[in-house]
Amino acid sequence: MKSNLRNEIKSYIVRQGMTMQEVVDLLADEYGWSDSVSNLSNKLQRESLRYTEAVQLADMLGFEIVWQKRRDK
């Protein structure tokens, strides 16, 4: 399961035509994140990304996280 989450986020980065380094540089400039790719990669690997970090990451990729009520089946 862990690699699925990491791969999903990495695929969003690739689909936006960006590299991990570019994303990390933007996050460092905008939000004061570490400018280390390995830092982000390790957080994704360990699934230790905080919610605020996920929101900021989504923002850098041009997305927003939306809470939507599930449809009852």
pLDDT mean over 20-28: 96
Joined tokens for residue 10:
């990495």
Q: Which comes out higher in pLDDT, residue 13 or 5?
A: 13
Residue 44, token pair as written in the block: 């994704």
The predicted pLDDT at position 6 comes to 86
How far apart, in whole angstroms, are the C-alpha atoms of residue 9 and residue 57? Answer: 9
* Structural contact between residues 26 and 60, judged by C-beta atoms closer than 8 angstroms: yes
pLDDT digits (tens, 9 = 90+) for 30-56: 999 999 999 999 999 998 999 999 999
Q: pTM value?
A: 0.85
- pLDDT bracket for residue 14 (50, 70, 90): very high
Between CA 16 and CA 26 the distance in angstroms is 13
